Structure 1
């Protein structure tokens, strides 16, 4: 049941995102689109409550409960940036907005970008780790919390990988090739 709910939450995330952006840019109803997009956190709340009820009824914690916590953490950490990214592309494509800016490729600007990305992943992992720890405390010492601890280890690996990437761009910044001309935007001839 938990895995089905996680899949339903993921599908609902994208459906709400598409509906919110369609209402914003096709129907020109900004307030309605904001309401639709603000429904996104309700999905995670439902998943959280159902998982807690499942554990409360004496079900042994397993990988599904851990996956629910990780999913909620990733949505908290990465959901806003995903919505912002999609909004920028839809605005560009359907509302005449500017083309979304690509991340910098070189130097300090790239390192700063990588730290921002790492910050989102750190938040996602921190929320997931906290939820997993809360679930372990919630079920108590009498039940096996091994699957929850296994998810915590996986999140620590994800956290470490993101930190290594950010540190590597800081310590070994990618340099722009010598003699390279700045990229010009394509312009149509009248």
Structure 2
């Protein structure tokens, strides 16, 4: 229960720090305070790993919450900077007269490149989650906790495979309707 509450607090903390950091930057024009606030987001992740390690060290039965904590950490670190950039562009547009966010095309090479970048983030997230789980096994867990922690290494890699198939590979294999040229459109009248 302790770890589950810490995961929830980390998720809430992420959005609070993100909102506060962007408000400091664009509403209150406190760029340095904003940078410091946004830099605290990874500290939440470090605290989460510490909480998981402490819980396991105290003899808690390794389970779903410990595995989810590893996944959360991996995805938070891999996707965190992209989430901050995404929110920053939208916040700047809404509150500071920044340019409108650029929409990704529905198809084409630019979309495919974005899907590959996203997939590589998923690979990074899976790698981080796996290293965290192995680190907990080697450094903290006892023999009774090891199997449960090790079992959480496979799910993120399954997600990597699914993301590959339904992301960039899907985009590559989906047939696109050819857009008629200007002369073809005018001759159809």
TM-score of the superposed pair, with normalisation by structure 2: 0.87
Contact kept, 8 Å, 1:107 with 1:174, in 2: the verdict is no
Task: Report how far residue 131 of structure 1 moved.
Answer: 0.8
1:35 corresponds to which residue? 36
Query: Which one of 146, 168, 171 corresponds to residue 169 of structure 1?
Result: 171
1:158-177 C-alpha deviation (Å, 9 max, x unpaired): 1111222223323x265364
Greater shift, 52-61 or 124-133, is seen at: 52-61
Look up the SS of the partner of 2:170 in the other structure. helix
C-alpha spacing 1:95/1:180, structure 2 compared with 1 (3 Å): farther
Look up the SS of the partner of 2:102 in the other structure. coil
2:122 aligned with 1:121, yes or no?
yes
2:80 corresponds to which residue? 79
C-alpha spacing 1:34/1:141, structure 2 compared with 1 (3 Å): closer
Structure 1: runs of 5 or more not aligned: 182-190
CA distance in 2, matches of 1:151, 1:174: 36
Contact kept, 8 Å, 1:5 with 1:47, in 2: the verdict is yes
Look up the SS of the partner of 1:48 in the other structure. helix
2:53 corresponds to which residue? 52
1:186 corresponds to which residue? none
TM-score of the superposed pair, with normalisation by structure 1: 0.87
C-alpha spacing 1:48/1:176, structure 2 compared with 1 (3 Å): same
1:62 corresponds to which residue? 63
Structure 2: runs of 5 or more not aligned: 183-189
Contact kept, 8 Å, 1:69 with 1:132, in 2: the verdict is yes
1:137-164 C-alpha deviation (Å, 9 max, x unpaired): 3355621433323322211111111222
